[in-house]
Amino acid sequence: MRRDFSGDKTTLDDVLGNEYLLVHEVVEISELKKMGRHINRRVIVDSPKTVIYSAHLTALEVELSYALYKKDFDWIRMRLKQFKESVLENDPYLPAELRPQAIILFRKFCSIVGLCE
């Protein structure tokens, strides 16, 4: 089970049972490796939050783009809702310098699926 800074729990079964989460995790690991991080049990707690969140934002963008390619608008809406509630509104660990990138990502996909405020 993986826990992130926001307390979200994702199990291996969750990831293996969902193609979008699988894409997300593969991209996230790839991004961390590109940044020179060693993938192990402690990578989340031992890495700077900017590294972790940067990888997460990239992975989320690829995940949502893949869902868009598959025209799975319900998945995109659900993930945007989760992202807004768990990261944009309630995550004290989101680095301030990444907040603009997170908001741009959120708005980009909101406009695509008609969730703009």
What is the per-residue pLDDT across 23-77, written as a single tens digit (0 to 9) for each? 999 999 999 999 999 999 999 999 999 999 999 999 999 999 999 999 999 999 9
- E strand or H helix that includes residue 3: strand 2-3
Give the Cα separation of 66 and 58 in Å (integer): 12
Q: Does the pTM exceed 0.75?
A: yes
CB atoms under 10 Å from CB of 40, counted, come to 8
In this structure, is the dihedral angle defined by the CA atoms of residues 100, 106, 107 and 108, taken in order, positive or negative?
positive
Kindly give, in sequence order, each residue whose CB lies less than 8 Å from that of residue 68, ignoring residues fewer than 6 positions away. Answer: 76, 109, 112
